[in-house]
Chains A and B, each alone.
Chain A
Amino acid sequence: MTGSLGQKLRIRAMVYVAGKPVPFFWPMRAFIHHNPLHGFEHLAFDEAVATGMRLFHASGFLPRATYQQYLADGRVDRRALERDVQRFVDSQQLSLPTDLASWLVTELLEHDGQAVERMTFASPEDVHSALSGSPLTEIADADPEALGAGLRKELLCGQPTYEVADALFGTTIGTELDERVIKACLDFFDEGQSVWSMPNRERGFFRAWLDVAGRDVRKTLRELLRQESTESGDDPETVITLVLTALQVPEEQWVAYLTRELARLHGWVGFIRWRSTAGHYYWQRLYPGDLVDYVAVRMLLALTLLRKRTQSAIPYTVGGVMEAIRSNPREMYLRREFYGNDTFVQMAHDLEDAVLRRNGARIDRVFVEYRDRKRKFEAERQAELLLESAQRAGCADALRRLSPEELSSLLAALQAFQKQEGKIWLKAMEARAMSSLLQGLSLQPEPPRERRPFAKALFCIDTRSERIRRHLESIGDYQTYGIAGFFGVPVSFMELGKGSENHLCPVILTPKNLVMEMTYAGIQDAAALTALEKALHELKESVLTPFVTVEAIGILFGFDMVGKTLLPATYNRWRKRLREERPASHLMLDKLTRGQADSVVRAVQRAVIVKAVEQEFRLEPEQISDFMVRELREAALARQTGCPEFAAITGLDEDGVNTFIHRLRDAYRINQSFAQLQLERLGRIGFTPDEQARFVAQALLSIGLTNEFSRFILLVGHGSSSENNPYESALDCGACGGSHGLVSARVLAQMANKPEVRRRLRAQGIDIPDDARFVPALHNTTTDELRLHDLALLPPKHLIYLDRLRKGLTAASRLCAQERLPSLQEHARMQDPAVAFRRARRNAMDWSQVRPEWGLSGNAYFIIGRRSLTRSETLDGRAFLHSYDYRLDPNRRLLENILTGPLVVGQWINMEHYFSTVDNERFGSGSKVYHNVAGRFGVMTGNLSDLRTGLPSQTVLDRGQPYHQPMRLITVIEAPFAQAENAVEDVVAVKQLVRNGWIRLLIIDPETSTVCLYDKGEWRKQAFVEGAEETVFQELLSP
């Protein structure tokens, strides 16, 4: 039965389907903001949140007290709240004397506790009798069958068997299993953190782990294989099948079982899922590992621990538990009550006594007493809660007059309301946010300009760019645009001296072109300090040498400790001067010609041959002549038969030479097919002139910049700088795949400054005057510095205006820092821009600063339209601004590009912040104070925990209270309604997001100046009145 290919494929398919709900987790070297519920985006928002909450045991909304605080701060639209409550009450079709809607509203506004609790034993009738003070009616003895069925439904619906054993017998197999699995994952997926790593990881995760797993695991596997009498079964699929059958899990529940297993460690599973699909990832090519391996490791460990920890006293197979529930349902019920977490506290001791004694009579007695007292307690407590909340709402006597049926329908309604409450608060908060946004927008066209602006600047759509753009425009004759951080040019970048390619584009795109960094000065010798540090690093990493090393140079670290803590700014600046500064580098953009590519391949083959001869025959370098190497190369490529020169020097006979030639062909791959492959890889380097023109045209058109090119056109990528911060990549540019945007800016600037490209653009109708120069720049969002780059390429006459530009940029930086710093630190003396600017620089270099900047926290809006729409509004860093001119985009192609790329990235960032704020322990990564970097790619909490996905509490919370206001992304498109709506319909991904309520979409039609909102499946329109007060958009936002 096992081992057949069909069976294996079935298991692989099951694991693939089971892994779907768990989102990808990228290594933190390039932090990718992602939606933790990405696996449920095909469902409506509240449905997806409900399923996500059940699967990951998390909460999808803030506690009511926080929403009440928002209401007090005026961030919640009270009218929308009351209307939604009324709409909920109407949907319940209740015939109740009391006015339920006003009761619920008072409940929402004044009380921050629960009005109704989950009742296991008490029924609405009991609550009714408790209300009226009459004794509870005697109920017949609960027949064991119903009790057993209840238990089976709750415990055996696809739950892993060790969770059942923990729930019934108080064992801790679940936590121990998680720890052993995490240790196995750490050992295998480690990327260079440990000096000694798991031996022969090339054989894949499961097989490599099996070699070093303890004797107990191998014993279980041998027993498993002997039971099924199969031959050696060290392939993961067989092991999964065997373990699932050994645990007697019914076949139809296998997928649910696997989903629950994978959801326990969603950090590791997300990472492994991403890694197994990332073809370009070096470590995956070197040490392959995928979800099927992970599940096999986990199942085998689970079976081993179950057998060891239960010692056959505790049933651990599904059949065993079924039998146990059937034989004594009462004991099992008491066990679940005792080891669960909602024990009836008053009888906890008697429960423990009965459970540990395990004799039938005592269990029955305790069960009956437990049931009665818990029922009475639940009924009274529920009655008391209802009475309190009724008194608050002023309809206490109406409540007492309710009949039992009416009371049970009231309880059902209250229960349903609790599930809906979070959604209602969210919609009311979003209504207020939309109305405050719409009041600030203006449809007045830009006044005609007589002279072109002094400088134009293209900033990333990042929310932090909104502040610096506003200040730049306020201090001088500048015009700013918003474009995706990678400027629309997906590039795979290879930094000087690095082996891996860095994809500078959103993860949904894969770059086809490679750009390499070159220097004039060739390879420098390692500077003194780096050589010493490298030597020190090796001394620390061996068995006997760290002791004397530490003793000898330990004191020097004292300077580091004191300097970095007491005066971080000066100390770090001094230390940076010690380290050698990076040589000036040049980007290779143009394609290699065919001839150049051939010469490179030839040179590589020659070098390989020289190395081969040196290694195989121990020849000295001077003995290996070029002529001999060329002769060997020709022979290897089968363009020549004999190698007289080589045979002469090495003294080999005929077949000795032939064997070496064959070795060259297959071991050293000097053959035609590999050469062809190398040529193709060289083909990836650089861009053809057509591609360059297309990218520049695409970038300029998408932001509506086709005329009035001023002398300086700044392309401002952004990045961040912080010390001792595992989440530094989260502060960089999300559109550039988690790294800074300077390289993309330099690439586009170099392309756009090429006369060849400008000629092609002029042919397409975009005429860039000759004196217009594209200048790349980097905006450091932590210190707000704006630094220009590649100034060597500027023509001389531009240098005259350079210092005016620099003064403008510094002024903008200081103003921006002055506005931003008070929310970061509470000191009063932040009014002075210079002090704020210095404090921002100090934050970037202080290793004890857990929050160098607020980063993307507070993001709420995504505005696609001309700058004139938002020029008059202070959005204080809460909006992604993408410039777009609908007049230049008749066939909607540019709008669709904006929707597919930047909008989806914006939605991921928004959802990451949303879920990290509402449940920072499960969806976020907890506090940075306990973080422990693991495997050089991820972070754990404390000694050993799941990989922490999501944002730390310091990024989204401020002393326990949310700083980021969790709302769905409010998108505004400035375009004619038909054009915008068709564009959204054409892009399937965005259509699904809007339809399912993951994004709130507003369309502003400048021609007819109407506002349209997509809500619950249909469009609502209203005239756009500029600068109106609060209630004017009431009819649109909350009908």
Chain B
Amino acid sequence: MKSLVLLILLLPLAAALLTQLIAPRFRQTSVRISIVGSVATFIVAAALLTLALRGEPTRVIQFGANWGELLFDPLGSLMAFVVSGISLIVHVYSVRYMRDEPGYPRFFVLLDLMTAALLLMVIAGDLITLLIAWHLIGVLLYFLLGHDASSHAAHRYASWTLLTYRFGDLPLVIAAVLLYQAFDTWSLQAIFAQLTQAPDKLTLFELPLAETVAALVALSAFARSAQFLLHTWLPYSMSGPTPVSALMHAGIVNAGGFLINRFAPLFVNTDGVLHWVFIVGLVTAVIGSVLMLAQNDIKKALGYSTMGQMGFMIMECGVGAFSLAIYHLIAHGLFKGTLFLGAGGVIGEARQDDGVPKDDLYTFVVEREPAKRRQPWLPMAIMTLVVPVTILVLAHWLVAQDFFQKQGAIVLLFFGWVTGAQLIFSTYRMRTQNIWRLMGLILFSFTIVVLGYAMISHAFDLFLYPDPVFRTSIDAAAGIDIIWFDALVILMALVVVLGWLITYAAEQHRQYWGAKLGAIWRSFYTLVAREFFVIDAYARLSDGLLSIARRLNVLLRWS
């Protein structure tokens, strides 16, 4: 088993080295070696995952004197499987996709090195290996995004990414050093063991150790997972090749969720940090979705949608559903990777349906339009509110009885409720003869999906955090006292109910609402079109700093 863990690291490195060595002479065959390497890595990762699933105990593999440990545990093996899986798909996709690009072998070398760095991060057992992997991923992503060596623009945007990542690495360095100073060891397992004995240890400036280190780790996760104000690099990383955008969802953009899960034993001893994580995640999710809806090109829209999804993942960690965050990370990785790899098909879809409404005169000649009988809107509105809640509650109750003690679960239930309501509302608006047949079909599929979703997320919970004591302590860390929670729940319920009633009413008499909202909507759109001026602010900041530096150089006569 020790050799398997080592093997999973050495395979991509060996593939990268071999590809680089024989690239000058055999351009095509060098790429085949890289494919073989990634297939082998995937097989080893699958073997590791099966071992972990079969209940192999967590084990530490020691290399260096006091650092250089690799860790075999459920979280590591699962993430290794995901990383090597998506990396294999990107490798096979790039064989034909990048065939005509200059630097074709160099691209595959970088892909292999990136896979190796991701695997190192995922199975790192001690803080220094984690720091090295964390730092290397940022540097390798800079060279992957800047693959087109002749374009200044690609490298200008790639340097945004590198600087945000470097800004994200620094708090992790401080956190690592603080932990080392407190427990005099770099190994994570040892630190967490000692931490459970002495949870309220103090550190620099008499701050509580767990709180400060957790805050630093969270800040580092924010920078990596493009939370608001540290997000500008993600939507503007589209100047790299398409496979790189897909690879980013294999553990580079969602490394924030992994980091928080890796430091779960640390977050358990904190009380305030997770609330901040929740707020930052929620703000990012909303802003990411809002900006996604206003983008006019497919790749930036996908970029902002990823920002929103990463915000939701961080919010799930903030709510205490750590394992759900990992599940979201994987589901979203596959989802967004597929959308990116197939992003060229938008023109094909536009040829099928180019958004031009049917001409009423000619349509009349060809199709006898069915008289669409509109259902009375009040019962439909009530059905929209009641049905999803019942399905959600039933499904979760079926899967895990103690579901409702966790406050986090209730918050996530709200999102499920809004989604179910929107699903029914959109079927209500669909033009069809027999609305009930379609409504039945949609509800049936909604139930299946919710049941499957609840079961999988529960299975993840059992797999990643086996002992229930630890699970309850996570929820405790994330919970807020009960009075505040109930007030929040009632407020949210009111907002949702009111919201849907207004939407249904607006659906009926459309013109009444249009005029009033016009002015507000225009100023809001100005803000959204300029992406909340964040990018311009950063551009002005960097230009200002550079001009100051230039003036300093002249003042000090270049020496």
Contact between A and B in the complex (any CB pair below 8 Å):
yes
In residues 147-161 of chain B, which contact A (Cβ within 8 Å)? 148, 151, 153-154, 157
When C-beta atoms are compared, the residue in chain A nearest to B456 turns out to be A555
CB neighbours (8 Å) of B422 from chain A are: 538-539, 542, 545
Q: Are A943 and B338 in contact (CB under 8 A)?
A: no
Contacts of B354 in A (CB 8 A): 29, 191-192, 498, 500, 936
Cβ proximity bits B315-356 to A, threshold 8 Å, 1 near / 0 not: 000000000100110111111011101111111101101111
* Chain B neighbourhood of A193, CB < 8 A: 295-298, 301, 346
CB neighbours of B365 from chain A (8 A): 516, 592, 600, 682, 685
* In the assembled complex, B89 has its CB within 8 A of some CB on chain A: yes
Q: Check A538–B426 contact: CB distance below 8 A.
A: yes
Compute how far the CA of A225 lies from the CA of B553 in the bound complex, rounded to whole angstroms.
42
Given A193-B296, A525-B434, A212–B331 Cβ distance below 8 Å? no
- Give the number of residues in B that approach A within 8 Å (Cβ atoms): 121
* Closest chain A CB from B453 CB (angstroms): 4
Min CB distance A324 to B, Å, is: 20
In this complex, how many residues of chain A approach chain B with their Cβ under 8 Å: the count is 120
Contact between A496 and B366, CB atoms less than 8 A apart: yes
Which residues does chain B contribute within 8 Å of A829, judged by CB atoms? none
Which residues from chain A contact B86 at a C-beta distance below 8 Å? Answer: 561
- Contact, CB under 8 Å: A600 / B418: no
Shortest B32–chain A CB gap in Å is: 13
A904 vs B405: C-alpha distance in the bound complex, in angstroms? 75
**Interface-forming stretch among A383-391, A526-534, A968-976, A1017-1025?**
A526-534
Cβ–Cβ contact A936 & B355, under 8 A: yes
A739–B348 alpha-carbon span in the complex (Å): 12
Asked if A498 meets B101 with Cβ closer than 8 Å, knowing A547-B312, A555-B331, the reply is no
B99: Cβ under 8 A from any A Cβ: yes
- Inter-chain contacts of B416 with A (CB < 8 A): 548
- Is B445's CB under 8 angstroms from A532's CB? yes
- 7 A-B residue contacts at CB 8 Å? A199-B521, A211-B522, A498-B356, A525-B438, A550-B335, A600-B361, A960-B102
Contact between chains at A849 and B522 (CB < 8 Å): no
Nearest CB in chain A to that of B246: its residue: A561
Rounded to whole Å, the gap between the CB of B533 and the closest CB of chain A is 8
Chain B min CB distance to A341 (Å):
12
Contact A935 B334 (CB under 8 A): no
Is B357 interfacial (CB 8 A cutoff)? yes
**Residue B305 lies at the interface, judged by CB distance under 8 Å to chain A:** yes
The answer for the CA separation of A936 and B101 in the assembled complex, in Å, is: 26
Compute how far the CA of A186 lies from the CA of B426 in the bound complex, rounded to whole angstroms.
28
B370 touches A523 (CB 8 A): yes
State whether the Cβ of A603 lies closer than 8 Å to any Cβ in chain B: yes
Q: Does A57 contact B (CB under 8 A)?
A: no
Q: How far is the CB of A657 from chain B (nearest CB, A)?
A: 23
Within the complex, the shortest CB–CB distance from B384 to chain A, in Å, comes to 13
Q: Is the CB of A564 within 8 A of B342?
A: yes
Is A378 in contact with chain B by the CB < 8 A criterion?
A: no
Assuming the contacts A199-B525, A546-B289, A552-B450, asked whether A678 and B361 have C-beta atoms less than 8 A apart, the reply is yes
Cross-interface CB contact of A547 among B309, B518, B525, B558, cutoff 8 Å: B309
Binding-face segment, B68-76, B129-137, B199-207, B236-244: B236-244
Given contacts A547-B309, A930-B239, 13 further A-B contacts (CB under 8 A): A499-B356, A526-B432, A531-B441, A535-B427, A544-B419, A545-B422, A550-B328, A550-B332, A621-B371, A621-B373, A681-B361, A929-B97, A932-B343
Residue contact A212 to B153, C-beta cutoff 8 Å? no
The 8 A CB mask of A555-566 against B (1 = contact, 0 = none) is 101101110111
Interface residues of B in 57-99 (CB under 8 A from A): 86, 89, 92-99
Residues in A neighbouring B98, C-beta threshold 8 A:
929
A958 proximity list for chain B (CB < 8 A): 100
Q: When chains A and B are docked, how far (Å) is the Cα of A976 from the Cα of B442?
A: 71
Among B157, B285, B345, contact of A724 (Cβ-Cβ < 8 Å): B345
B330, B363, B530 interface centre (most CB from chain A within 10 Å): B363
Question: Chain B's nearest CB lies how many Å from the CB of A85?
Answer: 33
- Name the one of A190, A500, A540, A592 contacting B356, with C-beta atoms under 8 angstroms: A500
Residue of B nearest to A959 (CB): B100
Distance of A1012 from chain B, by nearest CB (Å):
42
A729 contacts B529, CB within 8 Å? no
Which residue of chain B has the shortest Cβ distance to A190 in the bound complex? Answer: B296
Interface membership of B300, Cβ < 8 A: yes
- Taking the complex as formed, is B481 at the interface, i.e. its CB lies under 8 A from any CB of chain A? no
For residue B537, which residues in chain A have a CB less than 8 angstroms away from its CB?
Answer: none
Question: Given A535-B427, A546-B289, A929-B242, does the pair A551, B328 have CB atoms closer than 8 Å?
Answer: yes
Please judge, given known A-B contacts A196-B525, A546-B305, A682-B361, whether A848 and B97 are in contact too, CB under 8 Å. Answer: yes
Could you mark each residue 276-312 of chain B with 1 if its beta carbon is under 8 Å from any beta carbon of chain A, else 0? 0000000001100110011111111100010011001
Q: B346 — nearest CB in chain A belongs to which residue?
A: A933
B148 to chain A, nearest CB (A): 7
Measured CB to CB, the nearest residue on chain A to B315 is: A547
Q: A932 and B364 in contact (CB under 8 A), knowing A498-B353, A725-B348?
A: no
Interface: B367 (CB within 8 A): yes
Question: Is residue A543 contacting chain B, with contact meaning CB distance below 8 A?
Answer: yes
Residue on B nearest A191 in the bound complex, by CB: B355
B-facing residues in A180-204 (Cβ within 8 Å)? 183, 186-187, 190-200
- Asked whether A847 is an interface residue with its Cβ less than 8 Å from the other chain, the reply is yes
Whether A29 lies near B350 (C-beta < 8 A) is yes
In the complex, what's the smallest C-beta–C-beta distance from A415 to chain B, in angstroms? 28
Whether B100 and A565, one on each chain, are in contact in the complex, defined by CB atoms closer than 8 angstroms, is no
A728 within 8 A of B: yes
A562–B92 Cα distance when bound, in Å, is 10
A558 touches B334 (CB 8 A): yes
Cβ contact within 8 Å between A566 and B300: no
Q: Known: A526-B432, A552-B450, A566-B92. Contact between A848 and B525, CB under 8 A? A: no
Distance from B428 Cβ to chain A, minimum over Cβ atoms (Å): 11
Contact partner, A353, options B328, B361, B529, B558, Cβ 8 Å: B558
B558: nearest residue on chain A (CB-CB)? A353
Asked if B494 is at the interface (CB within 8 A of a chain A CB), the reply is: no
Residues A729 and B351 in contact in the complex (CB < 8 Å), given A931-B344, A942-B238: yes
Among A531, A850, A943, point to the contact of B100 (Cβ < 8 A).
A850
Give the CA-CA distance A747 to B75 in the complex, in Å.
63
For A551, the chain B residues whose CB sits under 8 A away are: 324, 327-328, 331-332, 453, 457
Most chain B Cβ neighbours within 10 Å, of A523, A931, A945: A523
A-chain residues with CB within 8 Å of residue B484 when the two chains form the complex: none
Q: A548-B416, A551-B328 are in contact. Are A522 and B367 (CB under 8 A)?
A: yes
From A28, A356, A500, give the contact of B347 (CB < 8 A): A28
Q: Which of B290, B296, B338 contacts A935 (CB 8 A)?
A: B296
CA A550 to CA B332, docked complex, whole Å: 6
Is A607 close to B, CB under 8 A? yes
Q: Whole-angstrom distance from the CB of B515 to the nearest CB of chain A?
A: 11
For A190, list chain B residues within 8 Å (CB): 296
Which residues does chain A contribute within 8 Å of B178, judged by CB atoms? Answer: none
Among A548, A600, A621, A957, the most chain B Cβ lie within 10 Å of the Cβ of A548
- Is A517's CB within 8 Å of the partner chain B? yes
Contact of A850 with B525 in the complex, beta carbons under 8 Å: no
The answer to whether residues A846 and B96 also contact, given A539-B419, A552-B450, A929-B241 and a CB cut-off of 8 A, is: yes
- CB neighbours (8 Å) of A540 from chain B are 305
What is the bound-complex CA distance between A939 and B297, given in angstroms? 9
CA–CA, A313 to B362, complex, Å? 63
Contacts of A685 in B (CB 8 A): 362, 365
Contact of A654 with B by CB under 8 A: no
A contact residues around B154 at 8 Å (CB): 930, 942
B124–chain A nearest beta-carbon distance, Å: 26
- Asked whether B359 is an interface residue with its Cβ less than 8 Å from the other chain, the reply is yes
Distance from A528 Cβ to chain B, minimum over Cβ atoms (Å): 6
B363: A residues at CB distance < 8 A: 499
Contact pattern, B 352-388, Cβ under 8 Å of A = 1, otherwise 0? 0111111111111111111101000000000000000
Which residues 413-451 in B have Cβ within 8 Å of A in the complex?
Answer: 415-416, 418-419, 422-423, 426-427, 430, 432-434, 437-438, 441-442, 445, 449-450
Q: How far is the CA of A406 from the CA of B60 in the complex (A)?
A: 83
